[in-house]
């Protein structure tokens, strides 16, 4: 399980902690993409790096 959070305000870490509590386990990876990064286009490398940490699964 991994968490990707798009976030416009503050307290991203608090949101991630709450997501972990609801899921009942810690994620293998997390990524917070801020609204300003989306507007400036400065998030592609971070998303690519995040995705590369996730295990590959074969389609059934």
pLDDT of residue 60: 63
Using alpha carbons, select from 28, 32, 35 the residue that is nearest to residue 53. Answer: 28
CA distance 14 to 12: 5
pLDDT of residue 59: 64
Written as six digits, the tokens of 54 are 């996730």
CA distance 44 to 38: 9
pLDDT of residue 47: 95
Written as six digits, the tokens of 42 are 């400065």
pLDDT of residue 7: 85
33 contacts: CB under 8 Å, gap ≥ 6 = 4, 5, 6, 7, 43, 46, 47
pLDDT of residue 9: 77
Q: Over the stretch 7-60, which tens digit does the pLDDT of each residue have?
A: 887 899 999 999 999 999 999 999 999 999 999 988 999 999 999 999 887 666
């Amino acid at each position: 399980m991994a968490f990707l959070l798009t976030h416009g305000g503050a307290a991203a870490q608090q949101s991630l902690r709450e997501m972990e509590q609801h899921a009942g386990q810690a994620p293998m990876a997390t990524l917070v993409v801020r609204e300003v990064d989306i507007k400036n286009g400065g998030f592609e490398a971070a998303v690519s790096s995040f995705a590369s940490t996730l295990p590959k699964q074969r389609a059934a």
